[in-house]
Amino acid sequence: MQSLSAPSFSGYCGEELTGKLAFFQENGQLTVFDYDTCSAWYSTQVNLRDAVWSPTGDRLLVHTNNQDTYFYSPDGECLHSESNGFVTWDRTGQLRPNNPHVWNEDSSVSVYIKTVQDAAGNWEHIAQVDDVNGNGRTEWSLEIFSPRFGVVAVLEWVPYSDWVLLGYANGGVATHLATGYRLAALNVRSGEIVDSGLSTPGIAQIDWHPTIPGLLATADLQAADVSGLGHLATWQVFENRVERWATPTDYIRGPVWSPNGRYLAYQIYDLAPGMGIGVTDIETNEAETWTEQGIWPQWSRDSSTLFYLEMLEPDNDLVRILAKSRETPPIVVAQTRHPGCYAFCEPQNFFDYTP
């Protein structure tokens, strides 16, 4: 098996690279490089997984195979641990358990989808809205999805709004894992429902614009021929407006907004050479291939550099994490265990970067 080496990260901190990179050694030991302070730290635990920075970058959580969760400060202090199953951050920085209830950013309102049967034996999906501030419980019928669509789920809260993102699909869980969710949204105050006409591979494949409320980017599966890959599209939920964007190849996955909100980076797919990374300028609708061998792009704070995982053959034990700007060749910043599932597992299983 091939073993890869990475140069000392300290040579790139400060001007060339900024932010913090968390990744796992081959034995599952958490490692963090801080490019702002030119320092590094390592966890005492091994066999860890799922490194996820909070949205503000002030805390880092990791999971164990026993479903414990450890929380670290940016300088490596283990703040505390929880043993109540997997939890993760929502997009506002709140901790959320892995359950079907979705909360707004101040934890005052939750939404849950339930399926009920009426006296005639017909099934109907109901959105149950609970307000902890004394406004009680409201229920909205989702009859436009019933009974033809067997799966209706609240994917997440549209940040800082009264809307929640809904996903619906034909058949059962296995079907929507293959064909994706159709995307709709529900206003929890009025009961209004809007349908985007888009379909996404899953919740990890959408991203909200950093400054424009309600603007979502996704890979639309509706016209795609390759399972799990789609065409770049954005949806302004509040106006129910869909726009489609140029990409270097037909198929993309996992778009990510740059911090300045101008660019979208994403995985591109072509038969030759395979998985790479593309970038679209939303102001000009111009697209370019950033690298022909890479997956899981993550932006630096100044929107100039992408951190990503290099594409290598599965018989390598380790793979390299690279950083590349538009004008410069890639820099090798670290190495991590081989994912073994390039297309459809999630990057936080192996590394996460915070600006």
Of the ranges 36-40, 156-160, 202-206, 226-230, the best mean pLDDT one = 156-160
Residue 285, token pair as written in the block: 């609708």
**152 domain residue, yes or no:** yes
Q: What is the pLDDT of residues 178-221, one digit of tens each?
A: 567 889 999 999 999 999 999 887 666 789 999 999 999 999 88
Domain membership flag for residue 221: no
Residue whose pair of structure tokens reads 């995307």 in the numeric block:
183
**Total structural domains within the chain:** 1
At 318-354, the pLDDT tens digits run 778 889 998 888 888 887 776 666 555 666 667 888 9
* 106 domain residue, yes or no: yes
Q: Which domain holds residue 140?
A: 93-204
- The number of residues making up the chain comes to 355
Give the per-residue pLDDT at 166.
92
Is 98 domain-assigned? yes
Question: What pLDDT does residue 263 have?
Answer: 98
Q: Regarding predicted confidence, which is higher, 222 or 218?
A: 218
Considering the domain boundaries, does residue 111 fall inside one? yes
Q: Quick check: is 50 in a domain?
A: no
The structure's pTM equals 0.86
- Quickly count: other Cβ atoms within 10 Å of residue 266's Cβ: 30
Does 75 map to a domain? no
Domain membership flag for residue 156: yes
pLDDT at 313: 60
- Read off the pLDDT of each residue in 95-106 and give the average, rounded to a whole number: 74
pLDDT, tens digit (0-9, with 9 covering 90-100), for 129-178: 999 887 789 999 887 776 666 788 888 899 889 999 998 876 555 455 55
